[in-house]
Amino acid sequence: MADFEVKFSMAHDGLVEYTAQNRMPYKAPIVLDDLTRLLLKRFDHWVGVKDTHYEREDLEILGRVLYQLLLPQRSPRGSDKSLRMLFEADYTQFLRQPASPADRFRLTLEIHEKASTLAQYPWEFLFIPPLEDGQIDAGFFFSGERNQLILTRYVPNQLQQVRPKTNEPLRILVVFAHPKELPNLSSEKTLKVIKTIRQMHGVEVRLADNPTHTQLRKLMNGPEDPEDAGRDVQDRVRFKPDIVHFIAHGEPDRLALIRPAEDIQKDKDDDKPLREAAWCDAQEILDLFANHTPHLVFLQACDTAREVEEKKFSSLARELVYKKIPSVIAMQYSIEVEDAGLFACTFYEEIRQGSHIDEAVRVGREVFGQKQDDRKVFADRRFATPVVYFRQKGAQPLFDRLKQRQSANRPLPNESAKEVPSAGTAVQHRTCPRCDSKAGNVCCTRCLLGFVCDCGNEYVDPLGTYCGNCPRKIEQPPWPTPATAPPTKFDPTGRRSNVPFPQDRESGETISTTAFETS
């Protein structure tokens, strides 16, 4: 069964067009009355304020209001069915067909610039109520609660399709800007999150700590240096990232970098108040990518920033994707530093494994939706906090893991034929660090030492304590052990879990987040 793709297009605040699975378009007016405006504004504010007490039922009401707004009951011209009936018929058809784990029902929200009011609403809370035909006997959130469903926002400015990387590593530039006069971002938690991202296996990560606009622009757009090939990532003259991850402060449509050191010193000499922040608007951020445009920009404001900043990053995200950037992720609510790190590492690991961007976001939302403390599943705003905007149609991977592996398995000129893997396989051999046997790329066939975490990450040190990419503790079968004994809590097929963390699926116990506290 193929993926289902449907779309709601909002040309302006008063009109929605539904494109069904059969590619037929249906238009209907959006009725945004005063009461609905007030409800959405108040709910959005209430959920967004830190430490507000709310329950899953409250989030369901918000999601139902959004569902009522997007899918009016009034039938569009030329049809005897309402948009709601048309959409629910498509989803019911998806459910009734033979399914496979890879099938997805993709709902795209195409938001035009004139739909400025609708663009501000938290559509990630969209809640589908039970259907009368019994196909859905309990309502659910579209964002992440069911792993076949994917919701994304799309800006209708078609770009050339991005080709997945195969022969080069994924490159991430982490821009960490923390001007002294603004609330402190340089907490121990933030630094540990950055360290965790930098320790990701198979990915080149560079940290730009308190860079100026000029320094960032030169790093990504300067002339090539032939000596860079032999340099460490952090020492290269030029770095062309696939992803730029900003950890910084934000204001309405602006982001804070750092002023040049000479300007800061001049103010100090003149006894002027400390002002290190260089506020860059959307166009100045776009100027950073004059000759090199990353595939994705990740905007993150941490919990120590002001409460309103995430909403400002969400508006900045729309501006960036309207103008140039193929994909932008932003946080629309305040988020704890550990949660930001968990989402980022989950997302990047999915990307590294070859997942599409929307699928990687879905997995991150699914992790956020797990039961927390005494709350029900999907009862915390975290799952709806990440917002992703696309400027190109269709789900796109940034990294083709299969082709990369196949490329890595090509024989060198002097390799003997017997050392070459058979056609179509992705087997890589390594020496087991525990028993010195020749082993495959997933586990040692002699002592059953596992090389791959349930999250899909290949361990840097299989005999270590933590995965280093997710909060899971490494659990290995004892040695010596009978060759016929199955590995403990390890699947030698390399199967990856749909919900790798933070919950142990066998014991039901929450795994400690101290895995971020790597030395």
Give pLDDT, residue 213.
Answer: 96
Residues of the chain with CATH 3.40.50: 170-390
Please answer whether residues 472 and 453 qualify as being in contact, where contact means their C-beta atoms are separated by less than 8 angstroms: yes
Give pLDDT, residue 480.
Answer: 60
Q: What is the C-alpha to C-alpha distance for residues 94 and 86, in angstroms, rounded to an integer?
A: 13
Q: Which two tokens stand for residue 265?
A: 């010193």
- Express each pLDDT in 160-207 by its tens digit: 555 666 667 889 999 999 999 988 776 676 777 777 777 777 788 999
Q: Which two tokens stand for residue 332?
A: 């629309």
Q: Which three-class secondary structure string do you get for 229-269?
A: HHCCHHHCCCCCCCEEEEECCEECCEEEEECCHHHHHHHHH
- Express each pLDDT in 298-347 by its tens digit: 998 654 444 444 455 677 888 888 888 888 998 887 777 778 878 888 88
Please tell me the pTM assigned to this model. 0.66
Give pLDDT, residue 373.
Answer: 59
Q: Which two tokens stand for residue 247?
A: 């950890």
Give pLDDT, residue 437.
Answer: 66
Give pLDDT, residue 396.
Answer: 63
Q: Which three-class secondary structure string do you get for 47-114?
A: HHCCCCCCCHHHHHHHHHHHHHHHCCCCCCCCCCCCHHHHHHHHHHHHHHCCCCCCCCEEEEEEECCC
CATH number of 170-390: 3.40.50
Q: In degrees, to the nearest 5, what angle opens at C-alpha 218 toward C-alphas 212 and 219?
A: 90
Q: Where are the alpha helices (DSSP H) in 276-410?
A: 282-287, 309-323, 337-352, 357-368, 401-408
Please list the ranges in the chain whose pLDDT falls under 50: 303-310, 402-429, 481-519
